[in-house]
């Protein structure tokens, strides 16, 4: 395992653009060393990028991701971070379940409306 990575290495590994990685750097979520104009990313940056990508995939905001990363920096035992993450997971799950209920209700309404429209079409064609 290597101890340092280029921006291209990380972009390729995480299937994102270099611009995305620079954005996370601008947001102070990762902080590579610089040698002139060249960014050198550490193993820590790579792990943080992996956590950022996972958090985004799960629907967490950048602020929520930053808060979780900051907790890790302050508590190396990870107890606080894990407790907070479990709370965030439960909040996200509740939100997704509510959205699924809303989607199901909308689909039911659309099915009923389509059925009504099809009935009207049938009556107009035969009547």
Show Cβ contacts of residue 43 under 8 Å, excluding neighbours closer than 6 positions: 1, 3, 4
Structure confidence at residue 104 (pLDDT): 98
CA-based nearest residue to 71, from 63, 79, 81: 81
pLDDT, tens digit, 9 for 90 and up, residues 3-43:
899 999 999 999 999 999 999 999 999 999 999 999 999 99
pLDDT, tens digit, 9 for 90 and up, residues 66-79:
988 888 777 777 78
Distances (CA, A) of 57 to 33, 51, 54, 65, 103: 27, 10, 5, 11, 20
CB 64 within 8 A of CB 58: no
């Amino acid at each position: 395992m290597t101890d340092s990575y280029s921006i291209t290495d990380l972009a390729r590994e995480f299937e994102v653009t270099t611009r995305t990685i620079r954005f996370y750097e601008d947001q102070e979520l990762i902080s590579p060393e610089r040698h002139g104009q060249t960014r050198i990313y550490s193993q820590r940056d790579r792990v943080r990028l992996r956590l950022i990508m996972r958090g985004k995939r799960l629907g967490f905001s950048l602020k929520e991701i930053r808060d979780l990363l900051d907790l890790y920096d302050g508590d190396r035992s990870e107890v606080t971070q894990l407790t907070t993450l479990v709370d965030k997971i439960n909040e996200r799950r509740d939100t997704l379940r509510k959205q699924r209920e809303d989607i199901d209700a909308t689909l039911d309404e659309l099915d009923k409306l389509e059925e009504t429209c099809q009935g009207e079409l049938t009556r107009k064609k035969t009547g």
